[in-house]
Structure 1
Amino acid sequence: MSALSAKISGRSARWRAASGTGVEERRVLPRPLRRAVRFTVSLAAGRVHVPRHVGTASVFAFLGAVGLYGMSVGGHTEVVAQSVTASAGFAIEDVRVSGNEQTSEIDILQLLGLDGATSVVALDIEAARKKLAELPWVESAEVRKVYPKTIEVMLKERQAFGIWQHGEELSLIERNGKIIAPLRDSKFATLPLFVGRDAETAAASFEQELAGWPELKSRIRAYVRVAGRRWDLHLDTGVVVKLPEENIGKALAVLSRFEAQQGVLDRDIAAVDLRLSDRTTVQLTGGALDRRKEALEARTKALKKAGVAS
């Protein structure tokens, strides 16, 4: 009977402890912390065997972690990585460039910052590609690592279509009218010259329209855009052909007929005006006009003399 009473009393005590009535609440650590505390106590009591040199390794690991953190915060990670990997035999010693006709290899090396200590491992391929794409002639670029010491650079360059004169500036342009770079030498002197506002954007379509007139096209030295609406053609003989805004093909057919019948473009004239559909106007040069006046005056005098003599 006393044993049964003790058991009931024990259950009542545990129930009171669980319900928090009359007994202080027990504080129990979470399971992961309990394991950590038991391990710490065992380590301090000497019940856990510690291998030799663990302390030294721990110190070096701690110092390494601190060093890495410091490099990360100070922004020196890339520099350290470059130095370490370059010293390990991964310094870039060979750069193979292909596809560059207008872009010099010196410009490429300077832009990439290759100074003999740059590492293949630490080189940022995407950043290098973006830098190369900023060069004037480069349309697209690809950079590839060839371990252990080589970098391959493959370029696709833009194609010069013509020369655009805007004010006193001369620029090389693509077929779509985008500027490539300023004109610096006579290497591209054979390209067609387009002059005036909006000439660069309208150049390709107009040049294509002249494809059916190869003889005339071969004699053109400059395409001059007038008021952003029409074109004047400056020929190698100095003659200016003034074209209309519309029906350019019809005007060129008239010019071709005149040239075939009278060789008008090789005569001493300043301009051929084709802007009006119902007439063609020819402007003489100053010298030709003077000679024509002299000829008319001589003819008039001759007629007068002939009339007096009669």
Structure 2
Amino acid sequence: MRRKANRYRVDRVKRREKILSGTRTAIAAFMVLISLALFSAALSRAYHALLDAPWLRVQEIEISGLQHMSRVEVLNAMGVARGASVFGLKLVQLKKRLEMLPWIRSALVRLDTPERLVVELVERDPVAKIAAGDHCLLMDQEGSLFAPCKCEEHPNLLLISGAADSGLKVGSTLQREVGEAVAGLLAAVRDWEEGLHRGKISQCHWNPDTGFLINVGEQGIPVQLGADNLEEKLRRLHEILGLLAERQWVGNVTRIDLDYGQRAYVEGQFPSFKGI
């Protein structure tokens, strides 16, 4: 007759092996954690040693694309001191800092050599000043109001009133209808100033019911343009001012209305003609 196996002894052996296996696994995991901690500490020590190393430091910062901002403003925004370690530079963060500046449309920051940091900027190009209450906002080519300014600043830019309310803030855009009208006016004014110009357009007022009213020349003659066919109307204004200049009547004009289809209304104090 065969002897029966001791079932309880087998179970004890298996339990002991299971405990030993678990212990080995725990010890191995603990050793891995210790190794990772030591490795991380070594990396951290090496990183800080590199930060303190006298080599691989920024010795030159080249900035291109500046038109309206100064080099000092850009350097202050970046916060990178000369002699800073290149290992501590976060180029993506520097790019974001620069693009938060109102005048900066886009920025590229890169290391050209281990000691030379290159910053390439694209600034916004202001095309008009938009009056908003007691102050003005600069508008770029995309219609974005990107920076505040005093209304007397940037005298080369056309001042447009009536297009925005006093609550408009930096980062806003004009209402769609108003923005399209302003874009059309600026395109027409660009042609006027480049070729047809017989007097600087000093300022402009937008009225949603009657369109644009501009002031032209040294005496600021008010000219009603309306809201459409602005390029054609400015061409007619060029001809009218030329005719008035030939007769030396420009100083007598008090108002011109071009919102009459193909006609124009000129108001002023003109000499009367007597019959012979």
TM-score, normalising length: structure 1: 0.62
CA-to-aligned-CA distance 1:76-133 (integer Å, 9 cap, x gap): x7xx888532321233332221222222222222222224563211211111110111
1:235 aligns with one of 213, 216, 224: 216
2:80 aligns with one of 91, 95, 114: 114
Whether 1:222 and 2:210 are equivalent positions in the alignment is no
Determine helix, strand or coil for the equivalent of 2:254: strand
CA-to-aligned-CA distance 1:16-49 (integer Å, 9 cap, x gap): 62xx6x9754314359838949x99xxxxxxxxx
CA-to-aligned-CA distance 1:266-294 (integer Å, 9 cap, x gap): 1412111233448644333xxx49xx8xx
**Structure 1 residue 246 displacement after superposition:** 3.7
More displaced 10-residue stretch of structure 1: 119-128 or 186-195: 186-195
Instruction: Specify the alignment match of 2:155 in structure 1.
Output: 189
**Structure 1 residue 140 displacement after superposition:** 0.9
CA-to-aligned-CA distance 1:156-207 (integer Å, 9 cap, x gap): 1111222223333133321222123233698832233322225883333212
Instruction: Specify the alignment match of 2:169 in structure 1.
Output: none
| Identical positions, percent | 20
Give, in whole Å, the separation in 2 of the partners of 1:131 and 1:154.
13
Instruction: Specify the alignment match of 1:272 in structure 2.
Output: 256
User: Structure 1 residues 183, 277: CA separation in 2 closer, same or farther (over 3 Å shift)?
Assistant: same
What is the one-letter code of the residue matched to 2:266? V
Larger Rg belongs to: 1
**Structure 1 residue 68 displacement after superposition:** 4.5
**Structure 1 residue 258 displacement after superposition:** 4.2
Whether 1:204 and 2:183 are equivalent positions in the alignment is yes
More strand by share: 2
User: Structure 1 residues 217, 133: CA separation in 2 closer, same or farther (over 3 Å shift)?
Assistant: farther
C-alpha contact 1:82 1:118 (8 A) present in aligned 2: no
Within a 5 Å distance, the mapping from 1:26-37 to structure 2 comes to 26=13, 27-30=15-18, 33=21, 36=24
Instruction: Specify the alignment match of 1:88 in structure 2.
Output: 53
C-alpha contact 2:198 2:238 (8 A) present in aligned 1: no
2:266 aligns with one of 276, 282, 286: 282
C-alpha contact 2:163 2:205 (8 A) present in aligned 1: no
User: Structure 1 residues 280, 35: CA separation in 2 closer, same or farther (over 3 Å shift)?
Assistant: closer
Instruction: Specify the alignment match of 2:67 in structure 1.
Output: 101
What value does the CA root-mean-square deviation take over the aligned residues? 4.3
- Runs of 5+ in structure 1 lacking a partner? 41-57, 70-76, 300-310
Give, in whole Å, the separation in 1 of the partners of 2:152 and 2:244.
36
**Structure 1 residue 239 displacement after superposition:** 1.0
What is the one-letter code of the residue matched to 2:50? T
Q: RCO higher in 1 or 2 (8 Å CA, sep ≥ 6)? A: 2
More helix by share: 1
Determine helix, strand or coil for the equivalent of 1:274: strand
Equivalent residue pairs, number: 247
User: Structure 1 residues 81, 224: CA separation in 2 closer, same or farther (over 3 Å shift)?
Assistant: farther
TM-score, normalising length: structure 2: 0.68
Determine helix, strand or coil for the equivalent of 1:121: helix
What is the one-letter code of the residue matched to 1:232? L
C-alpha contact 2:131 2:160 (8 A) present in aligned 1: yes
User: Structure 1 residues 176, 34: CA separation in 2 closer, same or farther (over 3 Å shift)?
Assistant: closer
User: Structure 1 residues 36, 258: CA separation in 2 closer, same or farther (over 3 Å shift)?
Assistant: closer
